[in-house]
Chain A
Amino acid sequence: MRVTKGARIVAGAALLAVAVAACGSGASGGGDSAGGSADTPVRMRIGEPQELLNPQNTTETEGAEVLGAIFDPLVSYDENKQPVEEAAESITTEDSKVWTIKLKSGYTWHDGTPVTAADYARAWNYAALQDNAMSSSYFFGRIDGYEDVHPGEGKTPTAKEMKGIKVVDDQTFEVTLSAPFSQFKTMLGYTAFYPMPESAIGPDGKVTQAYGEKPIGQGLFKLDKPYKKGTDTTLDLTVYDKFPGEKPKNWTKLQFKVYTSSETAWNDLQADNLDIHDQLPATAISTAKATLGDRYHDEPDAAVAYIGVPLAYNKEFDNVDVRKAISMAIDRKTITETVFSGTTSPADDFINPAIPGYRQGACTACAYNPAEAKKLYEAAGGPKSIELGYNADGGHKEWIEAVANNLRANLGIEVSPTPFEKFQGILDALDAKEYKGLFRMGWSIDYPSAENYLTPIFGTGSIGTGSNYGGYSNKEFDELVAKGDQALDAAEGLKYYQQADDILLKELPYIPVYFYRAVYANSSKVKNVKLNLLKQIEWADVEKA
């Protein structure tokens, strides 16, 4: 998933933040200052959703946050980070290949009609069909028949629906995968797998504009009025009476406030004009820690930042010692403390601490050791000058410059940080053989499984179509991942995934630099604010103070 860090996505370093806003106004937006009443909404910060609100076309965090309130996923995640049935009654399989999904009864769409298995089939088929150009289509790539509806560039789909999805009855459907995948159930909590009501589709067979502005969901909240993107600065929602699941105890109204600067939002939170801020800016951390007490939360977030190595494009990095030396020359601790003020932590594994399977300190070459790094680098004959590419639109400049300084000082080489307009620019330049330097890369999970840190980024099958941008390929690694995929239960799968992880740790195809952290806060008017594994708020738990 793409991390749309509020203002960060918008426009590069310059727009990054109005630091000053942190000290800005106090008394704004008055009127609803009386806490406790059931009618004043709980207010949460979001960045502007990038697309219209269509779950099948939302692959970024801000839109997903809103949709997460309007829809109820098939599975949610328990305290052990394992998937548990939510809108589903049961999700069963015998061979990790054919999955039977039974729906809970009692769910209705916000217009009152019942939710059926066909609504899920409709959503998934719609998302997968190439002609619909839904950004989430790749999520369905493991379902049997995906190639027929999504044959690739320049080819016309031979079917409208995937043969792997079979509606058994109103409450049951069966999904057949093209190959066994033990983590399939874990995937189902994601936005792309939400159902779609029949009314969403217009006469032309496409999702209507009206649905995109005011999606009809089956979740806890319904949207009060259509959201006019670009004009509206709030999205107002009300609890849906007929929602069969757990509801908030003492409140019914939810408001998402659209902010372009997370500093401004932080400022509003301090003034009690905002109740939940899920992405505190680095500039706010020290104040937040000191003043908020238990209203300040700091947890691992499932995203990882790497320095990518263009193995398939540049022979100079072939020697593993070169990669190790570079890794050891990076002072991760100072970078996370100074550049990020603790909103990130030093990376020490390829699997993130937020996800089962992480092992602390697993990456020995991630420990800062400049002396050893220099020795190793010289012995291995690493390149005398290297480029370090990054996309200028994501606020990465400062830490990349810091890494460059580390490498210059510790390895005695020339390093040129190279800004690219967009991340895509780096990939294009690599493909065109115009660029063969290192590059910055970030990964935020699509579903909370260790597997998601392996296959999409390092699997041989992900070269070209997936996110394996460096072109790393290792047969042993692929086999171990496949074994994990075919395992009959998640725990057994994890064992193989960790073995695959061991290979990465040994070979360092990418250099992990830092793990993101979820640093968030709530106002004194609400309590029990928790983020789930997908970084969405568990609304039913939130209480007004």
Chain B
Amino acid sequence: MGRYVIRRLIQAIPVLLGATLLIFCIVFALPGDPIAALFGDKRPDPAIAEVLREQYHLNDPLLLQYWYYISGVLFRGDFGVNFADVPVSQIMAGKFQITLNLALTALVMEAVIGVGLGLWAALRRGKATDTAILASTLVLISVPTLVTGFVLQLVLGVKVKQWTGLDIFPVAGTAEGLRAYLLPGFVLAGASIAYLTRLTRTSLAETLRSDYIRTATAKGLSRRRVVGRHGLRNALIPLVTYLGADLGQLMGGAVITETIFNLQGIGNQLFQSVYLREQPVVVGIVTVLVLIYILANLVVDLLYAVLDPRIRYE
């Protein structure tokens, strides 16, 4: 097990280096001078721009710049500073918190709603409920976040408050604490809820057809006990792995949701930094996201062994 983890981590190194270098190259190629971006509508004084460029190593060749950057990250855990001398780690810390809150809210919703609906559909397989649930998952998958975001914001956030006077779902921002994440969390979770519903349905339905379930039923166990103890437990494996891997996805894919609901998370930050040409911030955020992706995958594979005793890692 330990050796397996170490091997996986070693394998992750080229992926991490490759992904950061790729991003570094793209960011390096970003048109427009990051220094000029600091000056807004004014033409930067060429002399000053030159001094700044020197200060931030912008005149060095790409690979040397990459080396400055990656050595800082790897050996000192230092993500550098942006062009206003603010440490990138300081910028990222607060933003990651918000995105993490959002992603976790989405994950919980996914687990509760997705598994619940899937369970319901599986037990009513072929009936009207099943069809209705399947149809609604199709809609949930199809309607883009962009649309669900705005529509729910208008209907649940604004109209409900106008009609009932109750402020249930804050419309934007995070001033209300965790409650503020409910609506954006659902919007972000949308498609995942649908996938999880379908996954639960198929997974459970398949388990329920297997021999040991038939045996359990034949033994005279109650249906509740059969589904709960035997069926669900075995159907759980793919669900847990799906959820594990999805956390990284939710964090990296939240930019639209964050933009619509004005949450100052990493998606939003990255988007702004792309515009401001803040290369260190862009690369820093993507590096952390890649790390999360790699770790999430590792954890999922390990979870596997925990859930299914037949799987052993050497």
- Whether B40 pairs with A423 at a CB distance below 8 angstroms is yes
Residues in A neighbouring B153, C-beta threshold 8 A? 20
Residues in B neighbouring A229, C-beta threshold 8 A? 84, 86, 90-91
Count A interface residues, CB 8 Å. Answer: 67
Q: Which of B182-214 contact A (CB under 8 A)?
A: none
Count B interface residues, CB 8 Å. Answer: 54
Residues in B neighbouring A467, C-beta threshold 8 A? 42-43
A11-B272, A424-B33, A424-B36 known; A135 and B48 CB under 8 Å?
A: yes
Interface residue B46 (Cβ < 8 Å from any Cβ of A): yes
Q: For the complex, what is the distance from the CA of A539 to the CA of B35, rounded to whole Å?
A: 34
Q: Which of A446-495 contact B (CB under 8 A)?
A: 465-467, 469
Q: For the complex, what is the distance from the CA of A427 to the CA of B274, rounded to whole Å?
A: 20
Residues in A neighbouring B48, C-beta threshold 8 A? 130, 133-135, 137
- Whether A230 pairs with B91 at a CB distance below 8 angstroms is yes
Q: Which of A113-121, A145-153, A317-325 contacts B (4 or more CB under 8 A)?
A: A145-153
Residues in B neighbouring A15, C-beta threshold 8 A? 259, 268, 271-272
CB distance from A58 to the nearest CB of B (A): 11
Interface residue B51 (Cβ < 8 Å from any Cβ of A): yes
Residues in A neighbouring B94, C-beta threshold 8 A? 230-231
Q: For the complex, what is the distance from the CA of A9 to the CA of B40, rounded to whole Å?
A: 8
Interface residue A361 (Cβ < 8 Å from any Cβ of B): no
Which listed residue (B36, B47, B85, B161) contacts A153, Cβ 8 A? B47
Residues in B neighbouring A231, C-beta threshold 8 A? 90-91, 93-94
Most chain-B CB neighbours within 10 Å: which of A23, A52, A130, A443?
A23
Q: For the complex, what is the distance from the CA of A212 to the CA of B85, rounded to whole Å?
A: 10
Interface residue A12 (Cβ < 8 Å from any Cβ of B): yes
Interface residue A345 (Cβ < 8 Å from any Cβ of B): no
Q: For the complex, what is the distance from the CA of A155 to the CA of B93, rounded to whole Å?
A: 40
- Whether B158 pairs with A133 at a CB distance below 8 angstroms is no
Q: For the complex, what is the distance from the CA of A423 to the CA of B277, rounded to whole Å?
A: 13
Interface residue B240 (Cβ < 8 Å from any Cβ of A): no
A230-B86, A442-B41 known; A130 and B47 CB under 8 Å?
A: yes
Q: Which of A1-57 contact B (CB under 8 A)?
A: 2-4, 9-12, 14-15, 18, 20-21, 23-29, 50-52
- Whether B262 pairs with A135 at a CB distance below 8 angstroms is no
* Interface 1/0 per residue, B68-94 and A, CB below 8 Å: 000000000000000011100011011
Residues in B neighbouring A23, C-beta threshold 8 A? 157-158, 161-162, 171
Q: For the complex, what is the distance from the CA of A480 to the CA of B193, rounded to whole Å?
A: 71
Interface residue A501 (Cβ < 8 Å from any Cβ of B): no
- Whether A130 pairs with B84 at a CB distance below 8 angstroms is no
List of 3 A-B pairs having minimum Cβ-Cβ separation, nearest first: A24-B171, A2-B40, A230-B91
Q: Jot down 28 A-B pairs with beta carbons below 8 A, ordered by A.
A: A11-B271, A11-B274, A12-B275, A15-B259, A18-B172, A20-B153, A20-B172, A23-B162, A25-B170, A25-B175, A25-B176, A28-B175, A133-B55, A135-B39, A137-B45, A153-B49, A154-B50, A229-B84, A229-B91, A231-B90, A261-B262, A268-B175, A273-B175, A394-B41, A424-B33, A425-B31, A425-B32, A465-B43
